[in-house]
């Protein structure tokens, strides 16, 4: 069977990662969470006091940063490693969430991540989720999905996700963070979040995870 690239873009907290992971598992494809890569860079910047407005410091940091994903059989998940250390927990917290969109506007950070993502997806047979996969990273992806959902529903889901990771964050703070990231992600100069012309839209406000996964698998099977 032909292997393809499935690009899933969309807003934060509409279920992209969970859906993408399950689609990848069903097709026996690799899953790449590109948001985790921008989060790992942001975590490094915070840890090493890298000033995002200082191009030399950014360049130097990017030379030092190594990002990999390794499968953890205990959790059944691909986890994010920064320079050999598992940072999966650290990159999901509010501190990183507060800064990641700002760091993601930097053209050098983007070009570095896009290069890495293209390498990771070169052999195809991959489901990649993010903000610019169908428009910039793999504009020739065989299947493109644009996911969206009602803002309040997204905020409630993100708050629940954080709670499951033992982080109690007020709903208002979650909403504020999502709104700020939506704004930066859709208005930045370099590959802003937008629907690729040939992407299918899936609104997950009222769909179950099984339905979302089923829709994408059906589309994938007609493409393969």
Closest CB 117 distance from ligand C5P, rounded Å: 8
Q: Are 6 and 29 in contact (CB under 8 A)?
A: yes
Residue among 18 and 207 whose Cβ is closer to ligand C5P: 18
Residue among 2 and 96 whose Cβ is closer to ligand C5P: 96
Q: How far apart are CA 202 and CA 40, in angstroms?
A: 28
Residues that bind ligand C5P (CB under 6 A): 12, 34-35, 38-39, 100-101, 104, 130-132, 181, 185
Residues of the binding site for ATP: 10-18
Closest CA to 80 of 99, 67, 96: 67
Q: How far apart are CA 47 and CA 130, in angstroms?
A: 24
Residue among 109 and 213 whose Cβ is closer to ligand C5P: 109
Closest CB 130 distance from ligand C5P, rounded Å: 2
Residue among 28 and 127 whose Cβ is closer to ligand C5P: 127
Q: Are 204 and 148 in contact (CB under 8 A)?
A: yes
Closest CB 10 distance from ligand C5P, rounded Å: 9
> Per the structure block, which two tokens stand in for 132?
């610019």
Residues of the binding site: 10-18
Residue among 101 and 159 whose Cβ is closer to ligand C5P: 101
Q: Are 128 and 17 in contact (CB under 8 A)?
A: no
Closest CB 147 distance from ligand C5P, rounded Å: 11
Closest CB 89 distance from ligand C5P, rounded Å: 14
């Amino acid at each position: 069977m032909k292997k393809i690239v499935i690009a899933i873009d969309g807003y934060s907290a509409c279920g992209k990662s969970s859906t993408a992971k399950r689609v990848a598992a069903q097709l026996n494809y690799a899953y790449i969470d590109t948001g985790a890569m921008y989060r790992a860079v942001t975590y490094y910047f915070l840890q090493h006091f890298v000033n995002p407005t200082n191009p030399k410091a950014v360049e130097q940091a990017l030379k030092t940063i190594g990002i990999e994903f390794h499968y953890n059989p205990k959790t059944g998940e691909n986890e994010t490693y920064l320079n050999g250390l598992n940072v999966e927990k650290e990159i999901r917290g509010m501190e990183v969430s507060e800064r990641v969109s700002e760091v993601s506007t930097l053209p050098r950070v983007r070009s570095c991540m896009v290069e890495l993502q293209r390498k990771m997806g070169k052999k195809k047979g991959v489901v990649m989720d993010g903000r610019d996969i169908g428009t910039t990273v793999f504009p020739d992806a065989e299947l493109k999905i644009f996911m969206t959902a009602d803002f309040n529903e997204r905020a409630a889901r993100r708050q629940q996700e954080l709670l499951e990771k033992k982080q109690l964050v007020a709903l208002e703070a979650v909403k504020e963070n999502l709104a700020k990231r939506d704004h930066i992600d859709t208005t930045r100069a370099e590959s802003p979040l937008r629907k690729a012309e040939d992407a299918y839209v899936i609104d997950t406000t009222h769909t179950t995870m099984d339905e979302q996964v089923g829709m994408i698998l059906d589309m994938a099977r007609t493409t393969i």
